[in-house]
């Protein structure tokens, strides 16, 4: 069996994420596709994630790719979290997400909808956004009027009190391919139809969609195990193991520091034995969210400082040689962006030079001017 060290695995992932050298070919959508989507819970962080990977790109270019050329679509991606996905990948994503076996309901029985009620609400949502952009408040009136008072029962725990029952259907509607995010309306989130991005699209057949997603995931985050794929996607581990087994000779086993993991059989990327370089990654960057094992990606102090109950993403991190070796935070005032970096180890002269460049690049993406301070970062985690 082919053997691979942890350092070699990091080197592969950095190349595939365009973190060794920003991509100058293929454009924004190609890079977003290569990494299986960009986490967009914090939109400004998503813009930085892309800008660090694509040469000469600013937040304006990202927004144009999303709202003008529509090469990107904003919707619910892996783990049900908000992502920017390559529009061309949408049929794969819809097909794959709907192939995941349903998880046990988290809501109380009193807050759920029956299958028929859910189908009815999703139908109303799909019809409402076909040629429109609606806020949740605008949905409230329409969904309740077309389904019944039960849809408006305030039974769903939300960020600011209780939400009406029907709102649990928003993510379901996105998973079924009839809803995605639209441009903000006076800072209020809107929803619209993904058919406005990809007219006439239909979901890819489930088996083909899941197979393609596994292969894309392994190219970006491999070598990886079925259990790690399941955790990344929030899917049952048994199902993920069966999916990997069904791919047969389309995968090849790799011994990664004594653990049996997998790569795509045709993945012949050659990289150096050890990654080099320093990178700043913003909130919820997909490199750290999708890379396992956690204790190797977040060694030593990083495991306590940069994770939240084992979850990656709530803290911007300093990446040195492919692993987390510090945290950072920025504070913006107008064009000025004050960046504070707390490394967990002494920085070499080369690392300090790279840090200066990364701070400048992150500011350029955000169309700002940065200052840098080395010190203790005491900002809280983004939850």
Structure confidence at residue 383 (pLDDT): 62
Residue 165 backbone phi and psi in degrees, to 5: -55, -40
Give the pLDDT of residue 193: 96
Bridge-based pairing state of the strands 317-320 and 278-281: antiparallel
Dihedral over alpha carbons 18, 23, 25, 30 (to 10 degrees): 50
Strands 307-308 and 323-333: unpaired
Phi then psi dihedrals of residue 74, to 5 deg: -100, 120
Q: Which of 216, 269, 221, 220 is nearest to 247 (CA)?
A: 216
CATH number of 104-202: 1.10.10
Q: In terms of Cα–Cα distance, which of 116, 95, 132, 118 is closest to 170?
A: 118
Cβ atoms of residues 105 and 118 within 8 Å: no
Please state the domain extents for the chain.
104-202, 278-374
3-state helix, strand, coil in the chain (%, to 5): 45, 25, 35
Residues contacting residue 66 through CB under 8 Å, at least 6 positions apart: 72, 73, 74, 84
| pLDDT for the residue numbered 380 | 74
pLDDT (tens, 9 = 90+) of the chain, 383 residues, equals 899 999 999 999 999 999 999 998 889 999 999 999 999 999 999 999 999 999 999 999 999 999 999 999 999 999 999 999 999 999 999 999 999 998 888 889 999 999 999 999 999 999 999 999 999 999 999 999 999 999 999 999 987 789 999 999 999 999 999 999 999 988 899 999 999 999 999 999 999 999 999 999 999 999 999 999 999 999 999 999 999 999 999 999 999 999 999 999 999 988 877 888 999 999 999 999 999 999 999 999 999 999 988 889 999 999 999 999 999 999 999 999 999 999 999 999 999 999 999 999 999 999 999 999 999 999 877 76
**Contact in structure between 372 and 339 (CB atoms under 8 Å):** yes
pTM, two decimal places = 0.94
């Amino acid at each position: 069996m082919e053997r691979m060290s942890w350092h070699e695995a990091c080197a592969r992932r950095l190349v595939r994420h365009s973190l060794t050298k920003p991509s100058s070919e293929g454009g924004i959508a190609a890079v977003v596709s290569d990494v299986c989507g960009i986490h967009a819970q914090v939109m400004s962080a998503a813009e930085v994630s892309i800008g660090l990977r694509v040469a000469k790109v600013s937040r304006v270019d990202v927004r144009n790719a999303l709202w003008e050329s529509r090469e990107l679509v904003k919707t619910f991606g892996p783990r049900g979290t908000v992502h920017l996905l390559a529009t061309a990948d949408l049929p794969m994503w819809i097909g794959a997400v709907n192939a995941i076996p349903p998880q046990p309901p988290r809501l109380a029985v009193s807050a759920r909808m029956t299958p028929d009620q859910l189908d009815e609400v999703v139908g109303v949502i799909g019809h409402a956004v076909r040629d429109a952009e609606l806020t949740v408040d605008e949905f409230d009136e329409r969904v309740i009027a077309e389904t019944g008072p039960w849809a408006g029962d305030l039974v769903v725990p939300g960020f600011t009190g209780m939400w009406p029952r029907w709102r649990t259907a928003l993510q379901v509607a996105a998973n079924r391919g009839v809803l995605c995010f639209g441009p903000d309306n006076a800072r209020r989130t809107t929803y619209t139809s993904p058919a406005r991005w990809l007219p006439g699209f239909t979901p890819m057949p489930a088996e083909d969609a899941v197979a393609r997603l596994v292969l894309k995931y392994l190219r970006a985050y491999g070598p990886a195990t079925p259990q790690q794929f399941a955790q990344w996607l929030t899917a049952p581990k048994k199902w993920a193991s069966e999916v990997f087994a069904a791919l047969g000779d389309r995968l090849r086993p790799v011994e990664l520091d004594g653990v049996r993991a997998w790569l795509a059989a045709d993945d012949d990327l050659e990289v150096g034995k050890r990654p080099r370089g320093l990178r700043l990654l913003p909130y919820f960057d997909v490199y750290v969210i999708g890379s396992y094992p956690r204790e190797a990606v977040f060694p030593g102090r990083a495991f306590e400082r940069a994770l939240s109950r084992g979850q990656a993403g709530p803290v911007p991190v300093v990446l040195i040689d492919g692993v987390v070796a510090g945290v950072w935070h920025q504070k913006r005032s107008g064009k000025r962006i004050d960046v504070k970096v707390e490394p967990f180890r002494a920085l070499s002269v080369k690392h300090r030079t790279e840090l200066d460049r990364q701070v400048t690049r992150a500011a350029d993406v955000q169309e700002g001017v940065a200052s840098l301070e080395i010190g203790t970062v005491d900002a809280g985690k983004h939850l």
